[in-house]
Amino acid sequence: MNIRSDKTTTTEQVVLVTGSSGGIGAAVVDELVARGDVVIGADRIERQGQDLAEFLDLDITDEVRTREAVRAVIDRHGRLDALVHTAGVLGETVDPLSTTTAEFERIMAVNASGTFTIAREVANAMLAAGTAGTLVLFSSVAAKEARVDYLPYNASKIAVLHIMWSLAKILGPNGISVNAVSPGPVNTDMWSQFAEQSGSAHAARDARALQLPMQRFAEPEEVARTVTFLTAAENRYLTGLSIDIAGGAHLGMGT
């Protein structure tokens, strides 16, 4: 574990990024570091070469360890201004009718319960410190329509939206904003996993891209730039939002 500094100056934001080793998480880290933030990464496996102030080995399904991780960030860096929670899993079974209850529960434990746990811990820490911070949670456009594949993933991402909406209402009076980003297809390992499990990777990618008005996938950096906007200190008034980063998916469907 490398720790760059014990305390930060008041002009820097201290940001905890979960899933920091993944495609989107790593892009978020790069964007926030470039802005001048003090970025703490958290994941199951450390990604080499990242310019992190600190890396935490964290399983977000471990409630005790999650609470300890949030407390460690505040103890070592003086405060916590923002959470960007990108950690999540897709699942192994495409067909809902072949999905076991055990797999459904596992996906929900990571994507829904894990989101609730870390969001709750960060919220309580910010309330205790009087920090008007921000939480950015990761949902998906898959939460907003009926689909015939990866049901546990889709259901878990609906849960993320409800967690976000509830916390935005609860924390707003304390100046804490809570938002969600809902990516569509992004050029990451998770999409590669989906394409491989669904059939021909190239055919699946091309077919999905053609369904979007922009007719291409997002790059992780495009998702990260939206996160950078939402976590900016001057944008705390924005709360309760789910921002689709999806190349125009769902146009005309009220989103």
Angle subtended by helix axes 114-129 and 63-77, to nearest 10: 30
| pLDDT above 70 (res 195) | no
* Measured distance CA(164)–CA(147) in Å, rounded: 22
Pairing assessment for the beta strands 54-57 and 38-43 based on DSSP bridges: parallel
pLDDT value at 217 more than 90 = no
Of the given ranges (1-5, 47-51, 193-197), which has the lowest mean pLDDT? Answer: 1-5
Weakest-pLDDT range from 132-136, 178-182, 198-202 = 198-202
CA 213 to CA 174: how far, in whole Å? Answer: 39
Q: What is the DSSP letter of 7?
A: S
Domains of the chain in start order, with CATH, are 14-186+220-245 (3.40.50.720)
Q: What is the mean pLDDT of residues 210-217?
A: 66
Exposed e or buried b per residue across 77-104, where buried means at least 16 C-beta atoms within 10 angstroms of its C-beta: bbbbbbbbbbbbbbbebbeeeebeeeeb
- Note the pLDDT of residue 254: 43
Exposure string for 114-130, b = 16+ CB within 10 A, e = fewer: bbbbbbbbbbebbeeee
DSSP assignment of 182-201, as one string? EE-SBSSHHHHHHHHHHS-H
Helices (H), the chain: 23-35, 63-77, 101-108, 114-129, 151-171, 189-198, 201-210, 220-231
Greater confidence (74 vs 255) lies with 74
70/199: higher pLDDT: 70
Nearest to 224 by CA among 191, 194, 181, 184: 181
- Which residue type does 245 have? I
Could you tell me if residue 82 is left (phi over 0), alpha (psi between -120 and 50 degrees) or otherwise beta? beta
Residue 245: pLDDT band with limits 50, 70, 90:
confident
Whole-number CA gyration radius for the chain? 18
pTM as predicted: 0.87
DSSP structural state of residue 218: B
